[in-house]
Structure 1
Amino acid sequence: MPDASLLPIVIIILLAIGFAFVNGTNDTANAIATVVGTRVMSPRQAVLMAAAANLVGATTGVAVARTIGKGILVPEAITYTTIIAGLIAVISWTSLATWRGLPVSLTHGMVSSLAMAGVGVAGAAAVNWAVLGKVVAAIIIAPAIGFAGGYLMMVAIMWLFSKSRPDRVGRIFSNAQILSASYMAFSHGRNDGQMPIGLITMAMVIYSGNLALWDSIPVWIILVAAGSISAGTAIGGWRVVKTLGVRMTALKPVNGFAAETAAATVIQIASSIGIPVSTTHTISASIMGVGATRRLSAVRWGVAGHIFAAWVLTIPICGVIAFILATILKGLF
């Protein structure tokens, strides 16, 4: 029998909106850090562009939403408690990281939170370890490809334009970078924007008992999630933008174009096959790869080290918080 109580549904929808919003504020940097850092667009222009592209991206496809919603946990472990605990954990950590100016992976935070909340409720058997293994593999693979892609694309551009005047190259890529930044924002929406869609759909399946919702996710869920992540992007996490676009390495328009195009392509491929990847990891690695084409010392590895530390800490911190919350809340809903 479907649960007649609307309270947990309302709580989950509000938390999912909050999650999408903080996702947008932290991951604004993924889409606009390079275009702002190179001064191709003003911050206001960049956030408006990114918000619009995020909105469109989040409404195109639901493969990642299905992986998040019904792939991480076995059906018996998908409860209101696991969803609520997971959402509170990742929102708390991301808000702190954004305030500190650190880009973090909400994807991996959410996956870790759901998995450990499931363990807190139903033990280790709650986790679909095969699916989780694919997501964990992407933690290493996506940034590695992003780094290599950024490096190789920058090398290719330098070879193709080796005989061109620097001012001509600057003009060409000042325009081209607007397109690449839009591409990156669209890709972010298509991957990260689907996570709140999957979470709200999980709750609606529990409430209605209708598994067919996964085959035809209601349009209102998609629009609520897309609008929330777009709103968060429009607000912008400016400390994170400064970290990625200014502090990590000096960027020119051509560098921003190479980094954004390489990272967005990796994210698009992952989204098409339903694998949630860290847009933060991927664009950060691409920026490092582009910077390394000049010389390794062009990358401020101290800043990169702080970013890497935040990446590493995200998974255990979110997991521990979610496990504790799930253990406390177990049986409440």
Structure 2
Amino acid sequence: MNTEDVARVTGLVKDFRIPGGKALRAVDGVDLAVRGGETLALVGESGSGKSTLAKLLIRLDRPTAGTIEFEGADITALRGAALRRTVRRRMAMVFQSSSTSLNPYQRIGDVLAEPLRSHRVGDAAARRAAAAEMMERVGLDPAFAGRYPHELSGGQRQRVGVARALMLNPSLIIADEPTASLDVSVQAQVVNLLQDLQHDLDLSYLFITHDLGLVRHFSHRVAVMYLGRLVEVGDTERVFADPAHPYTATLVSMQRDAEHRIVPVGDVPSPIDRPSGCVFRARCPIARDRCATDVPPLTETAPGRTAACHFPGELRPGGADLHARTPAAPPLADPILTKSG
């Protein structure tokens, strides 16, 4: 794996204006990097800002503040031809719904040739040949080039979506819940395909998902978002084995049986009316006075691990009273998360 960053965002903010003159802050001061050849999983509840962050990174939307770098270049303010030349040919997206992301009136061969035609790559014959070659690479019969999307299964359509993303030889693919609408067996096939392509083509992935089992199987690192902010980033296995942030601990515990889950109290606060201090404090079982007044910065808690918590590691596996205000216990090798209350 190439340890150099293929993409990096710094201080990224995105506000949306809503009726009444208020602002909804969907992304709030995010610092994050995707390394060359890695899969970085981005997880969090619906409304946490994951998809908005992805759209900012690929420049489908413009940030309110902050910077975006891609392959060493600042792309924050690029527009027009410069954006097409620098970003559109080297960064691509695979969408969640293959049924709505493909033009129902285009044959599959035309769907795959369109990125080449848009960027004036090759002639018609070369584009058809490139489309057929890419279909074979993603496990589709080139004869499907003459079919329409509705004539393919969901898994086949998602392979078309992956093939389309690869047509211009990108270095980074943003996959936004690419397996969510597929059956479990088909999900495994698509994930295995993505892994094979990553190995063969040295691709980097930003992989957005709610499926923590998939995260653990597929990603090298994981970034956890809550209410527009990153709360923890680190090596996937280490984060799952010993989560530093209380919110991460609750997510990881959802893979346990009901008796050993940590369930946050209350509902996610409104991004229009954010809590003071730590955004998770109102639902956190170990919150205390400092959490209400001071915003915890994303700081290193261990080599290669960062968390935005004043008391990292206190809500952790091991059976201690979740509401105790005692120093954190040593990490356990084979953790079992305890339930709250």
Q: TM-score range by the shorter chain?
A: under 0.3
Name the structure where strand makes up a greater proportion of residues: 2
Q: More relative contact order in 1 or in 2 (CA 8 Å, sep 6+)?
A: 1
Which is higher, the Rg of structure 1 or of structure 2?
A: 2
TM-score (normalised: structure 1): 0.24
TM-score (normalised: structure 2): 0.23
Name the structure where helix makes up a greater proportion of residues: 1
